[in-house]
Amino acid sequence: MAESSVGQVQWNKLNATQKREFVSALRHLVENRYYRRWQHIFHKSKLTILSETTTRNELWVKTMLSIGKKQSYVTWRLRRNNNGEPMVVSLTVGEKDLLTRMTVRFQKQIAKSGIEGLIAWLKDKLDIDPNESINSTAMSLI
């Protein structure tokens, strides 16, 4: 998800430290901003698998999320990680794709202030001191 969200060209420009910092910041943003919401929503809902489609190295799973009388289509895009386990790359609720929305925002930040600015912006979203290591701060957030 991290590589896809900044694009292959930008990803290839990053050094190993920048990649680690970006992946860590993005992971913690998703976990802290979205995971709790999703857990709350999915706990109170019924998820029905409607279809599965395999394309190249991805699996697309179309589901119906029902919460009371409300229903929404949720499409999950998965890829296998290095251990062969499926990982969610993105999900689309209705017409809103998480990865696409992140990519647009990230590209604007990169154009405005470069990759270091994007990493700082992500840390700011997590209320992380820019001079503090993401790993130690993340542990305090858990």
3-state secondary structure the chain: CHHHHHCHHHHHHCCHHHHHHHHHHHHHHHHHHHHHHHHHHHHCCEEEEEEEEEECCEEEEEEEEEECCEEEEEEEEEEECCCCCEEEEEEEECCEEHHHHHHHHHHHHHHHHHHHHHHHHHHHHCCCCCCCCHHHHHHHHC
CATH value of 2-141 in 3.40.50.280, 3.10.450.710, 3.40.50.970, 3.30.565.10: 3.10.450.710
The whole-number pLDDT of residue 28 equals 85
Given this model, what pLDDT does residue 34 score? 75
The pLDDT assigned to 135 comes to 38
Per-residue pLDDT, 109: 92
Specify the pTM. 0.68
- For the chain, the structural domain boundaries read 2-141
pLDDT < 50 stretches in the chain: 128-142
The pLDDT of residue 140: 27
Q: Output the pLDDT for position 138.
A: 29
Return the pLDDT at 106: 92
* pLDDT (tens digit per residue) in 61-79: 999 999 889 999 999 999 8
